[in-house]
Structure 1
Amino acid sequence: MLARLLFILLTLAILRPTASAQPLPGTPGTLPGESGIRQGRFIGVMVGTAAFYTITLILLKKQWYKKKQPFHTFNDNAEWLQMDKVGHMATAYCMSRGGYELMRWSGVDERASILTGGLLALLFQTTLEVYDGHAEGWGFSKGDMVANVAGTALFMGQQFGTGQQVVSMKYGFRKTIYPPFRPNLLGKTTGQQMLKDYNGQQYWLSVNLASVLPVGPSFPRWLNLDLGYSGSGMTGGHENPPMVDADGKPIKFERFRQFFLSPDVDLSRINQPDPLQPLPWQRFVGTVQFFKIAAPSLEYNRVNKLRFHPLLLPKE
C-alpha cells in the first residue's frame, strides 16, 4: 500500500507541468542531449523503485521482524561508539544520491530529482524505524532518525546549493577478531559481519580538493581527501559482557575510537569536462562508488596513538 501510494504521489509530482520552472543557479536544467522526461526510463525507474521497496520490506518482515510488539521507543545513542548513527547517515546519503541520479537519468528536472531522491531515502529509512518500533529487542530510535535526516540533508543541501557533491560519504570494511566471540550479534559470515560488526566498519567523509581549494586547471579534479571514523574492541553495545577463554581466563577488550586520514579517487570526476555537467556514465559511477578505495592512511587512536597503514587497514 505504501509503495503504491508513493508511486502515485511521485508520478503526479514529477509529471506536473514545469514550463515555468527555472534551473537552479549554477546547475544544469537538463542533461546534455536530453529534452525532458524519457518515458521508458522513467517508468522503469518508478516500477523498479516500488518493487525494491516492497520486496525488501517483505523480506525484512519475515526474516528480521518476526515478533511484533506494541510501538515503543528505544534510546541507543550511546551504543557502539556511535558507529550505528554514522552508518545511518551514510546510508541515507547514498540512497538520496542514488534516487536523484536515477531521476536525472530519466530526464526529470533538477529540483524534482533532488526532492525525489531525498524523499525516497527518508521514506525507506523511516519505514525501517517504524518496524524497529514494533520489534522485540529494538524500538523506534530518535537518534537514528536524526542521522537519517542528516545524511539526506548533506546530499540535498549540496545539490541545491552548489549543483555538485563536494563532500560525499563512503564505507569501508575489514574483517576483525571479534565476531567469533559473539557470532550471533556480530555476524557469522563475512556478509553478516559487513552489516553487524561495527569494529570492521569505517565511514569516510570524502572531500573533493579541487572544489574547495584555489587550484589551477592542471590540478587533478579526481583527487579527494578522506576523513574516516571507526571503533574497535566492541563486543557489546554499551559495554562488553564478561567473557572467558577455553581455560576459563577472563578475556577483556578495550573499546576505543579510531580516526583516519587518507587520499582517495573520485572516479566520477576523471576526464570530466565540467563539474556541473557530468556525463551520463559519470553520474552512476559517483553513486556506486560507495566503497572507499584502498589507499595509504594515517590513523590516530588513544591506545596506539599515531599509526601509518601502507594500504589496507590491519585486522584487529
Structure 2
Amino acid sequence: MKWNRTLLICLLLFNLNLYAQDSTTVSKRLKPLIIGGSIVYAGSLIALDQLWYSDYERESFHFFNDNKQWYQLDKLGHFYSSFHISKASYHGLKWAGLEETKSIFWGSMVSVLVMTPIEIFDGFSSEYGASSGDIIANSLGTALFFSQQSAWSEIRIHPKYSFNRTDYPKYRPEVLGSNFSEELIKDYNGQHQWLSFDLSKFNDKLPKWLNIAIGYGGKGMVYANEKDNEENGFNPRRQYFIALDFDFNEYKTRSKIVNTALYFVNMIKLPAPTLEFSDSKFKFHSFYY
C-alpha cells in the first residue's frame, strides 16, 4: 500500500541521516536509541493501523474539513502533542550524545514522523480523511519547540493540558467516553489547553516558580458542530482563561526518578487561581484546573 511505502521511506531517511554524522562523535547510546526507537515506531504504526483503521474500507487519499468541529480543541491537542514529542525526542538525543543543533532538528523531525502517518492513515480511510487543520496544528506545535530551543537554548513558553470531568459524556458515551480514561481523550468539554509563560526567563527578578498561563476550552459540546448542539438543546460556548501557574523545570534533584516525575508534572496545568471569560462575562475561580 502507498502509506506503507511512505512510512518505510521516512524510517530509512531518519536512520540514514542520523548515521551520516562523523562516527567519532556518535555516543554508544545513540545507535541503540535509534534502533530501539525505530522498532517501537514501526510497531506502533502497525498496531495503530490494525486497532483503529482495520474496520473501515480503504479508498483513495482524500481530505476532510473538520476545522470547525469541537471548537478546534482537537487541533490544540495536536499542537500540544507535537510540541512535547519534539521536546522529549530532543532530550533523548541529547542524552545519547548528539550535538545541540542536530538534537533540535532531529527532535523536531521525530514529531513530524510520528504525527504525519496518522494523517496518511486518515486520508486513506473511508471513515475519516486527512485534515488540513491537523497538519497545520502539528506543524505549529513542532515550530514552537524548534524556534524556542534554537533562539533561547531553552523553553520559555510551555503548552500544558488540564482536565476535569463533566456530565456531557452521559449523553453520548460512545463519542465522549464511557469511563474516566476514555473521557480524558474524548470529552473536549473537560479539556483545557494552555500556554504557560515562564516569567523568570524574561525577567530574572521574578520568582523562578512563577508562571502566567493563558487557556482555552469549551462547554456544551455533545456534538461536533455548534448547530447540532443548539438544535439538540445544548448551549455550546467557548471559554478563555488567565491563571497563575507553576514551573518545575528550574528545580533539579539528585534523583533521576524525581526529576523525571517533575518533567511530566510540568506538562500539566496544576490547579490555581483563575479568571475565566465565557458567555460575555468574567468569573473568578479561586481553585481551577
TM-score interval, normalised by the smaller of the two chains? 0.7 to 0.9
SS of equivalent residue, structure 1 residue 74:
coil
Instruction: Encode CA deviations 1:70-106: one digit per residue, 9 max, x unaligned.
Output: 2211011111111111111111111111111100111
CA contact (8 A) 1:170 1:292 kept: yes
Query: Residues 1-316 of structure 1: matches in 2 within 5 Å?
Result: 6=10, 8-17=12-21, 36-39=25-28, 41-66=29-54, 67=56, 68-213=58-203, 215-216=204-205, 219-239=206-226, 241=228, 252-270=233-251, 285-286=262-263, 289-302=266-279, 305-313=281-289
Per chain length, whose mean CA-contact separation is higher, i.e. which structure has more relative contact order (CA < 8 Å, sep 6+)? 1
Supply the distance in 1 between the matched residues of 2:114 and 2:252 (Cα, whole angstroms).
34
Across the two proteins, how many residue pairs are aligned to each other? 281
Report how far residue 308 of structure 1 moved.
2.0
Could you tell me which amino acid in structure 1 is paired with residue 243 of structure 2? S
CA contact (8 A) 1:262 1:297 kept: yes
Supply the distance in 2 between the matched residues of 1:188 and 1:104 (Cα, whole angstroms).
40
Report how far residue 17 of structure 1 moved.
4.1
For structure 1, the residue ranges without an aligned partner over 5 or more in a row are 20-34, 244-249, 273-278
Supply the distance in 2 between the matched residues of 1:199 and 1:122 (Cα, whole angstroms).
28
| 1:297–1:141 CA distance, 2 compared to 1 (3 A) | same
Give the structure-1-normalised TM-score: 0.80
Supply the distance in 2 between the matched residues of 1:65 and 1:192 (Cα, whole angstroms).
18
| 1:100–1:281 CA distance, 2 compared to 1 (3 A) | farther
Report how far residue 54 of structure 1 moved.
2.1
Q: What corresponds to 1:27 in structure 2?
A: none
Give the structure-2-normalised TM-score: 0.87
Supply the distance in 2 between the matched residues of 1:223 and 1:109 (Cα, whole angstroms).
31
Supply the distance in 2 between the matched residues of 1:86 and 1:206 (Cα, whole angstroms).
14
| 1:100–1:271 CA distance, 2 compared to 1 (3 A) | closer
Could you tell me which amino acid in structure 2 is paired with residue 225 of structure 1? I
Report how far residue 180 of structure 1 moved.
0.8
Could you tell me which amino acid in structure 2 is paired with residue 222 of structure 1? W
Could you tell me which amino acid in structure 1 is paired with residue 27 of structure 2? R
Supply the distance in 2 between the matched residues of 1:126 and 1:194 (Cα, whole angstroms).
23
Supply the distance in 2 between the matched residues of 1:48 and 1:18 (Cα, whole angstroms).
21
Mean alpha-carbon deviation: is it higher for 256-265 or for 53-62?
53-62
Supply the distance in 1 between the matched residues of 2:278 and 2:288 (Cα, whole angstroms).
17
Identity of aligned residues (%): 33
For structure 2, the residue ranges without an aligned partner over 5 or more in a row are none
What is the root-mean-square deviation in Å for CA atoms of aligned residues?
A: 2.7
Instruction: Encode CA deviations 1:234-288: one digit per residue, 9 max, x unaligned.
Output: 0111136479xxxxxx96221111111112222111269xxxxxx9985884466
SS of equivalent residue, structure 1 residue 269:
coil
